[in-house]
A and B are shown apart, each in its own frame.
Chain A
Amino acid sequence: MREEKKTEVVDALGLFPDVFLGDVLVSVIGRRVVRVENYRSLILYTDTLVKIQAKTTKLLIRGRGLLVERYCEDEMMVCGAIQSLEFED
């Protein structure tokens, strides 16, 4: 309830949800690159699955030949043949 109210207020005021709600930022470039920001940690990494823990959800990146081009405090870039992006509660 509280989270819903918070979301409504952020939407109404036009504020950035990733800053005020801690949402994960996912940028997809074609089918080859996925850039993830505002995440907490890496849960699992194999060459076909990358599982990332965000604040309120989990992000699954499935594909083939996945490799992490950059992994640092601010962002993470996953490259390879991306097949799907899923969010898991």
Chain B
Amino acid sequence: MGRLRRMIGGWVRVTLCGYAPERFLNLCRARQMTIWDLECKGDHYVFSMGLSDYRNTRPLARKARVRLRSSSRCGLPFFVRRNRARWVFAAGFCTFFALLWAMSLFVWGIEISGNLQYTDDTMLRNLDTWNVRPGTRKRAIDCESLESSIRAAFPRITWVSVRLEGTRLVIQIKENDVGSEDLEKPRDPANLIAAKSGVITSMIVRAGTPLVRIGDAVEAGQMLVSANISIKNDGGEEIGTHQVFADADVWARTQSSYTKTFPLLHREKSYSGRKRYGIRIRTGEHIFPFLLPTLQKTSWEYLVTERQIHLGADFYLPIFCDWVVGHEVSVYERNYTQDELSCLAETERARFCENLEQKGVQILEIDDRIEVSAKTCTLSGQAVTIERIEQSVPNMESEE
């Protein structure tokens, strides 16, 4: 600490010679001046003392009849004086740290973890409506109220933690694994109608009056289970009706189809293997690419890996340094071959089946066709499926 104080205040190396050097040293000590690294060099002495003390030694030197000569000067005052012409450098140096401090007052990165059902984009859009986005002042973010807002906006989130780490906003959430649709089912009287046409193969009625049976062919919109339950007396006469929320599982054999038409002529890319590398600096809306130039006028395809600059683990800055890799590509047009059309048809069929299976539909058989004309190709397919077709609609009689 003493050394730091000396560097900041500045010190000089002094050569002392004369009549009574010891008297001079005693006079300095009496005026509370500190001397260090005092050496005897035969006929003279060399020592170090602080700059402010050195400036007050003239009367003492006169009194002790000695001569002082400074041989070297060290410390901040001398450094500033030597570099006074380079004030722009110093200003830039200070401005850099001032900017760094200013940027530390804002949030520049938002990290969300633990979300499975809600995508990052969905959550970021919601945060944006609450004025929480990169560039928001840290002081303007209330973590507790943000946690409450997230829990209210996303019902499936059971636990949420929001905290500020450096210039990052870290949001951790935990979602509810149990489906909540059954708990939220409205209990107003409702009928069940057919969402699609088909032949009923299985029917389990839990509430309501069934109007169709297994084996019946139904049309889309036809009522399957009524919300009205007739109340009969002992004689079998209807004395009234009671309305319920019709609940049933109705499975039917249905038909699903798909069609996709596209032109035979398509663009094909061919990569030559040549690459070029570069970096791209991005801040806000401003982008500064730095790529090696090419002499030939060819097409290039660029792959950019984004990387946000950060100091340490949590001090993120609003500057992105992206790594760019370019691949030379030549584009030409040609028609699909028969093998390629078959592959496309297979891919489309697989995609169609996967969609149906994700919805819980059982596929019994599927036929697909490829129709090729002069300029276009049509892929079509038809599947016989077994799926649930019931759809709940409000009972119009109860509304009246």
Taking CB atoms and an 8 Å cut-off, the chain B residues in 25-60 that contact chain A are 25-26, 28-30, 32-40, 42, 45, 47
Interface size of B by CB at 8 A reads 19
Beyond A43-B22, A45-B22, is A72–B37 a contact (Cβ under 8 Å)? no
In the bound complex, CA of A32 to CA of B38 (Å): 16
Establish whether residues B36 and A71, one from each chain, have CB atoms under 8 Å apart when the complex forms.
Answer: yes
In the bound complex, CA of A69 to CA of B35 (Å): 8
Establish whether residues B26 and A69, one from each chain, have CB atoms under 8 Å apart when the complex forms.
Answer: no
Q: Which residues of B contact A43 (CB under 8 A)?
A: 22
Interface size of A by CB at 8 A reads 15
Asked if A33 is at the interface of the complex by the 8 Å CB criterion, the answer is no
Q: 1/0 per residue B207-241: CB within 8 Å of A? A: 00000000000000000000000000000000000
Beyond A45-B40, A46-B40, is A73–B25 a contact (Cβ under 8 Å)? no
Asked if A26 is at the interface of the complex by the 8 Å CB criterion, the answer is no
In the bound complex, CA of A48 to CA of B96 (Å): 54
Q: 1/0 per residue A31-55: CB within 8 Å of B? A: 0000000000111111100000000
Q: 1/0 per residue A53-82: CB within 8 Å of B? A: 000000000000011111111000000000
In the bound complex, CA of A85 to CA of B323 (Å): 72
Beyond A42-B25, A42-B26, A44-B22, is A69–B32 a contact (Cβ under 8 Å)? no
Residue of B28, B29, B38, B42 near A67 (CB, 8 A) is: B38
Q: Which chain A residue shows the least CB distance to B30? A: A73
In the bound complex, CA of A66 to CA of B45 (Å): 12
Q: Which residues of B contact A69 (CB under 8 A)?
A: 36-38
Residue of A46, A66, A72 near B29 (CB, 8 A) is: A72
In the bound complex, CA of A67 to CA of B37 (Å): 7
In the bound complex, CA of A69 to CA of B36 (Å): 5
Establish whether residues A73 and B22, one from each chain, have CB atoms under 8 Å apart when the complex forms.
Answer: no
Q: Which chain A residue shows the least CB distance to B22? A: A42
Q: Which chain A residue shows the least CB distance to B26? A: A41
Q: Which residues of B contact A73 (CB under 8 A)?
A: 29-30, 32, 34
Establish whether residues A66 and B37, one from each chain, have CB atoms under 8 Å apart when the complex forms.
Answer: no
Q: Which residues of B contact A45 (CB under 8 A)?
A: 21-22, 25, 38, 40, 45
In the bound complex, CA of A67 to CA of B391 (Å): 102
Establish whether residues A72 and B34, one from each chain, have CB atoms under 8 Å apart when the complex forms.
Answer: yes
Q: Which residues of A contact B25 (CB under 8 A)?
A: 42, 45, 71
Q: Which residues of B contact A42 (CB under 8 A)?
A: 22, 25-26, 29
In the bound complex, CA of A44 to CA of B26 (Å): 11
In the bound complex, CA of A47 to CA of B40 (Å): 6
Q: Which residues of A contact B28 (CB under 8 A)?
A: 71
Establish whether residues A41 and B38, one from each chain, have CB atoms under 8 Å apart when the complex forms.
Answer: no
Establish whether residues B29 and A68, one from each chain, have CB atoms under 8 Å apart when the complex forms.
Answer: no
- Most A CB atoms within 10 A — which of B28, B35, B38? B38
- Most A CB atoms within 10 A — which of B21, B29, B37, B42? B29
- Please give the distance in Å from B3's CB to the nearest CB on chain A: 12
In the bound complex, CA of A43 to CA of B21 (Å): 10
Establish whether residues A72 and B38, one from each chain, have CB atoms under 8 Å apart when the complex forms.
Answer: no
Establish whether residues B34 and A71, one from each chain, have CB atoms under 8 Å apart when the complex forms.
Answer: yes
Q: Which residues of A contact B22 (CB under 8 A)?
A: 41-45
Q: Which chain B residue shows the least CB distance to A70? A: B36
In the bound complex, CA of A44 to CA of B40 (Å): 11
Q: Which residues of A contact B36 (CB under 8 A)?
A: 68-71
Establish whether residues A66 and B40, one from each chain, have CB atoms under 8 Å apart when the complex forms.
Answer: yes
In the bound complex, CA of A55 to CA of B78 (Å): 41
Q: Which residues of B contact A46 (CB under 8 A)?
A: 40
Q: Which chain B residue shows the least CB distance to A46? A: B40
Q: List 30 A-B contacts (CB under 8 A).
A: A41-B26, A41-B29, A42-B22, A42-B25, A45-B22, A45-B25, A45-B38, A45-B40, A45-B45, A47-B40, A47-B42, A66-B40, A67-B39, A67-B40, A68-B35, A68-B36, A68-B37, A69-B37, A69-B38, A70-B34, A70-B35, A70-B36, A71-B25, A71-B29, A71-B36, A71-B38, A72-B29, A72-B34, A72-B35, A73-B34
Apart from A68-B38, A71-B29, A72-B32, list 6 A-B contacts with CB within 8 A: A41-B29, A42-B22, A42-B25, A46-B40, A67-B38, A69-B37
Residues of chain B touching chain A, judged by Cβ–Cβ distance below 8 Å, are 21-22, 25-26, 28-30, 32-40, 42, 45, 47
Residues of chain A touching chain B, judged by Cβ–Cβ distance below 8 Å, are 41-47, 66-73
